[in-house]
Amino acid sequence: MGIEAATAHSLSADRERPGFAPALLAWYDRERRDFPWRAKPGVAADPYRVWLSEIMLQQTTTKAAIPYFNAFTARWPQVEALAAAPREEIMAAWAGLGYYARARNMHACAKAVMERHGGAFPRDEAALRALPGVGAYTAAAVAAIAFDAPATVVDGNVERVVARLFAVETPLPEAKSEIRRLAADLTPALRPGDYAQAMMDLGATVCTPRSPSCLVCPVEAFCAAHKLRIQNDLPRRSAKSARPLRRGAAFVAVTEDGYVLLRRRAETGLLAGMMEAPSTPWTEAGPADGHIEAHAPVDGVWLKMPGGVSHTFTHFQLELDVYRAHAPRDTQLRLAASPEQCRWVRRAEVAGEALPTVMRKVLSLALEQPLAPRRPAKRTILTE
């Protein structure tokens, strides 16, 4: 074993020394961040607000989550109110926050809390994990922060802190199990909820992904990566494969009296239950050349908008051509548009619909330019 490896091993073996958690908690008491979901010092946390914030913060920054959290808690201040709300209203309120399965699972979880637990979130990690949409991380976070249980909470910030504390060279995601084991060894029995939030704050404000502020770090003395001067290189990550590209076409039909045709997506799969402008399937090949008009929802003169729309999903990149046409509301919808899922929506009310971000981009592109009224014509695809 080399000198550097021996040093890291020595620090790792010494991870249970009593000074780490007290040093971190003392810093947290001075520097803790203020969030609308975070209880004030000495005040018991509200499990509903803790759970709601953790669902929103998955794949979302705190800055983006705050206005949504405030809006949700103003409209649905308790879990029973959220459980009783129509799912369509919840999806509309969630629109723009992304990863829409979270909203569907959130509603299902609220209902389960009411039905299985009488409206009170369970304190046990295992019982929390049995709820819809609650995984290992969320269960641990709710148990620790809401109930002060000694649960090990590991998010992206904590992964980075622990990887540097113990100079974990194994790249992520392969290192996840090792990091979780090390994090569990650090979790104290005293104030585990504050400790979990302190670790998150440390990663977000001091032990940042780039240029960590080691000079002001309250636990710098415990950090193997800092001692070895490799903190900027950790955590290491395996190379990511390129996202595949999918293509499609979206059709925005508008009326002279200010209505837009929208369609509800299927209840399963990507963006389930959300509203959209009728579109072709999203495939790697895209719609066949010369056959795009077969997917148009109504007969009309369809104009291709310049530029199109590009959107990044977790597992693929999407490029959509956008077409628009003028059509009367009493026009017959084509079977390709799934008429039973379509409805005309006032243009002024479109913003309140449960539209995913990609469809807001589509509608913005199609509606930002004036559209002169046109008589229904034989279905035609034109370019501008």
Detail the DSSP E strand segments found in 203-316. 245-254, 259-264, 275-276, 301-304, 309-312
Residue 293 CA to residue 380 CA, distance in Å, equals 7
Residue, of 278 and 2, whose pLDDT is higher: 278
pLDDT band at residue 300 under the 50/70/90 scheme: confident
The pLDDT tens digits for 219-251 are: 999 999 999 999 999 999 988 888 899 999 999
Q: Are strands 245-254 and 309-312 parallel, antiparallel or unpaired?
A: unpaired
**Res. 10: pLDDT tops 50:** no
- pLDDT score, position 377: 41
pLDDT of residue 342: 94
Say if residues 27 and 198 touch (Cβ distance below 8 Å).
yes
Looking at residue 6, its pLDDT comes to 36
pLDDT over threshold 80, residue 381: no
Q: Which of 25-34, 290-299, 310-319 is the least confident region?
A: 290-299
Report the pLDDT value the prediction gives residue 322, as an integer from 0 to 100.
95
Determine contact, residues 373/256, Cβ cutoff 8 Å: yes
Catalytic residue list = 54
Q: How far apart are CA 64 and CA 56, in angstroms?
A: 9
What is the per-residue pLDDT for 380? 55
Residue 288's pLDDT band, with cuts at 50, 70 and 90, is: confident
- Buried-exposed string 295-319: b where 16+ CB fall within 10 A, e elsewhere: bbbbbbbbbbbeebbebebeeeebe
**Band (289; pLDDT cuts 50, 70, 90):** low
pLDDT at 370: 62
What is the DSSP secondary-structure string of 143-195?
HHHHH--------HHHHHHHHHHTT--SPBTTTHHHHHHHHHHH--SSSHHHH
Could you tell me where the DSSP H helices lie in 76-135?
79-84, 87-94, 101-117, 125-129
Distances in whole angstroms, Cα of residue 301 to Cα of each of 252, 271, 371, 383 = 12, 29, 11, 10
More confident residue, 201 or 353: 201
What's the pLDDT at 12? Answer: 42
Whether 169 has a pLDDT exceeding 60, the answer reads yes
Give the model's confidence band at 292: pLDDT under 50 very low, under 70 low, under 90 confident, else very high. confident
- Average pLDDT, integer, range 200-208: 97
Of the segments 289-298, 304-313, 369-378, which one has the largest average pLDDT value?
304-313
pLDDT surpassing 80 at residue 131: yes
- At 51-67, the pLDDT tens digits run 999 999 988 899 999 99
Beta strand spans in 269-379 (E): 275-276, 301-304, 309-312, 317-326, 342-346
Q: Which of 135-149, 267-281, 312-326, 368-382 has the lowest mean pLDDT?
A: 368-382
Q: Which three-class secondary structure state does DSSP give residue 296?
A: coil
Q: Are 261 and 252 in contact (CB under 8 A)?
A: yes
Q: What pLDDT score does 371 carry? A: 53
Mean confidence (pLDDT) of the chain? 89
Q: For a pLDDT cut of 90, what percent of the chain falls above it?
A: 73
Average pLDDT on 123-135 reads 95
> What is the distance between the alpha carbons of residues 238 and 181, in angstroms, rounded to a whole number?
20
pTM: 0.77
What does the pLDDT read at residue 8?
A: 44
The answer to whether residue 379 scores a pLDDT higher than 60 is no
pLDDT of res. 178: 96
Mean pLDDT of 196-208: 97
pLDDT band at residue 18 using 50, 70 and 90 as cut-offs: low
